[in-house]
Chain A
Amino acid sequence: MDMYNLEALMGDTTSSEDYRDLWIVDLSAETLHATSLLNEARRMADSLGAYVHYIGAMDSSQAIACGADRVHPLSVDSADAAVSALASFFETHKPEFVFFTASYYANEIANRLAGKMNSGAITDCISLRLDESTREIVALHPVYDGAYYLDSAITTKPQIFTVREGVYPEAMKDKGRSGEVEGAIHESPLHDAPSTADRVRALGKVEFESAATPLRKAAKVIAVGRKGNDEASVGVAREIAQKIGAAFAGDRSAFDAGWVDHDHIVGVIGIEIAPDVYIAAGIWGDTLHRAGVEGAKYVIAIHPDKRAPIFQYADACIVGEPKEVLPKVMRLL
């Protein structure tokens, strides 16, 4: 028994043919991302024979010039208000494809909406491939902090995706295009059920430091691994960290050796960091470690084995034993 038979038994006779069109939901403050997504939706809609709808606060003439056929103004100030408004709107409008511009906020809303509509959502997509014959989109999205990518598809409708910024090029605008502006979307509780929107109250900014915050915020990080390091060289690494004002961390092997605790592991499973300078001493640096430090601006790698994968993404490399190199670096500081 699939979802549609279940709903028929419960009195709702929606079939997959009732789901229509491509819908862009734009909850961001800037418009660049949504405009390029509108262009891509226009291209897909033309091959599917569908309309493109824009939901958000962008100027309607700009949305239409970028490819929207219909514009539905929406302005919300909380995730709960967004979910409530979109859920009740989509209850009547039955979208076939919904695309959000990805952000932490949009990812949360997309997932909540998917749950509400008994479908699925794929977040942080970096590519969308439409199969016109099956009307299915296969989305590429990162897993394990970006160590590798999965190609996934949603088998139920609506198909909901959040798309990362920078995936599509800057939008082309056609000022000659025409479209319609519909009434604004408002929040409204579904089926007289109380909305969850009043149940979460923002208390404002708080002063808080998690155990991982210093590492996450550090502009410079020095991390150690097992290879070529011993207690003495780890001590030197800590001194260097203190001297240059860097945070001290380690990879999984350093944690296993007891040199760092849970909150100072860098890499997948541990903390994702994006410092200005990242020094990796004795870290093999396979793809899973790399995924955790992908955002680092300048990577310095020290490792005795020149085949170490870390040399393939480090900006500066020294092939050597950290227990010899680190004391020399310390003397030069």
Chain B
Amino acid sequence: MKILILLKPILDPRGMMINRKAGKVFINKKEWMMNPGDARALETALRIKNTLNGDAVVIAAAVGEEASLNLLRDSKALGVDRAILIKADAPTARLYSALVNHLGDIDLILTGGSALDTGENIGAQIAEPLNFAFVGGAVKCDIENNAVHVVKSQGKEFHGYECELPAVVTFSREAPSLRYAHGGDIIIAYRDKNAVETMSADELGLTDLQPSIVERGQTTPPEREFGKQVSLEEIATAIK
């Protein structure tokens, strides 16, 4: 079984300050982190690999420069078999579709439901051009009898789905969170110059990489006023 994970680095909100009064977003410290949905997809891929007793190959892919490279090194430290960095400005559905066709025989593509920084759902966008089945919003995903079993939340309930391969499954932030890598494995992954393979868009046969969606500006939600000062007794009454 060949599993492809799509990873995206996003700006860590810890380094951001959002000033509603000024209507501006300030990046005080540019730190990067893995998109939370993608991290959950990676955790599920590693669990599937454990369950299939090595009968699965897990490939992690990301687009960009250093931030994406570090995510791929982290995923190598966690145990993925291959990590591929595509050198391009922005991840697009077309780029990832070309990668899937280049790699060949991909059975399952796992990724986060949406990118926290843009709201884009790359997983849903690549399903149709590749003619893969699609299930979104998974909280749990297993492989059984060469089919994917997915549990997803629908309102207050959870529903099960069985999906034929090949398939794309995207994950909600309620799926199991990503494990921590062993310190020694992290050092090895970061020191090994060959840990991550790099590929250019040309090698995938693409010359036009313009994303369909462009950002034109940022705004903030409106201000609110100072709340009402209350006594301890009022608090105790309200929470009982």
A residues near B (Cβ < 8 Å) are 1-3, 6, 79-80, 83, 87, 104, 107-108, 111-116, 118-124, 138, 140-156, 193-194, 196, 199-208, 210-213, 216-217, 220, 240, 244, 246, 252, 262-263, 268-272, 277, 279, 286-288, 298-301, 311-319, 325, 328-329, 332-333
* Docked pose: A84 CA to B208 CA in angstroms: 27
Within 8 A of A (CB), among B192-240: 207-208, 210-221, 223-230, 232-236, 238-240
In the complex, what residues of A have CB within 8 A of residue B236's CB?
A: 329, 332-333
- List the 3 shortest-distance A-B pairs measured between CB atoms, nearest first: A120-B212, A115-B125, A111-B124
Chain B hits for A272, CB < 8 A: 173
Given contacts A152-B213, A279-B239, A333-B236, contact A268 B13 (CB under 8 A): yes
Interface string of B152-171 (1 = CB under 8 A from A): 00001111111110010000
Tell me which of B161, B221, B230 has the highest count of chain A C-beta atoms within 10 A of its own C-beta: B221
Assess the B139–A210 pair: CB atoms within 8 A.
Answer: yes
Q: Tell me whether A313 and B227 are in contact in the complex, defined as CB-CB below 8 angstroms, given that A262-B177, A277-B239 are known contacts.
A: yes
Contact status of A210 and B174, CB under 8 A, knowing A153-B216, A312-B226, A329-B232? yes
The answer for the CA separation of A332 and B212 in the assembled complex, in Å, is 58
Given contact pairs A200-B162, A277-B239, a sample of 12 additional A-B residue pairs in the complex whose CB atoms are under 8 Å apart: A111-B120, A145-B116, A150-B218, A151-B217, A155-B211, A155-B212, A206-B151, A216-B174, A220-B239, A268-B116, A315-B228, A325-B232
B52 contacts partner chain A, Cβ-Cβ < 8 Å: no
17 A-B contacts (beta carbon < 8 Å) = A104-B137, A111-B120, A143-B119, A144-B13, A148-B18, A153-B213, A155-B212, A156-B212, A196-B131, A204-B160, A262-B177, A269-B13, A311-B227, A316-B227, A316-B229, A317-B228, A329-B235
A-B interface pairs (CB < 8 A), number: 245
Q: A151-B217, A199-B164 are in contact. Are A111 and B212 (CB under 8 A)?
A: no
Asked if residues A286 and B213 are in contact (CB atoms below 8 Å), the reply is no
The yes or no answer to B102 lying at the interface (CB within 8 A) is no
A10 CA to B97 CA in the complex, in Å? 17
B14 adjacent to chain A (CB < 8 Å): yes
B140 proximal to A (CB < 8 A)? yes
CB distance from A315 to the nearest CB of B (A): 5
| Number of interface residues, chain B, beta carbon within 8 A | 80
Minimum CB–CB distance for A219 against chain B, Å: 11
When C-beta atoms are compared, the residue in chain A nearest to B232 turns out to be A328
Residue B103 is within 8 A (CB to CB) of chain A in the complex: no
What separation, in Å, do the CA atoms of A299 and B239 have in the docked complex? 10
Q: Among B129, B208, B210, B236, find the residue whose CB has the most chain A CB atoms closer than 10 A.
A: B236
The residues of A that contact B5 with a CB separation of less than 8 Å are none
In the bound complex, residues from chain B placing their C-beta under 8 Å from that of A199 are: 133, 163-164, 167
Q: How far is the CB of B38 from chain A (nearest CB, A)?
A: 12
In the complex, the chain B residue whose C-beta lies closest to that of A262 is B177
Chain A contacts of B187 at CB under 8 A?
none
Which residues of B in the span 38-87 have a Cβ within 8 Å of any Cβ on A? none
Q: Provide the residues of chain A in CB contact with B213, threshold 8 Å.
A: 120, 122, 152-155
Query: In whole Å, how far is A130's beta carbon from the nearest beta carbon of chain B?
Result: 13
Cβ of A138: which chain B residues have Cβ within 8 Å of it? Answer: 216
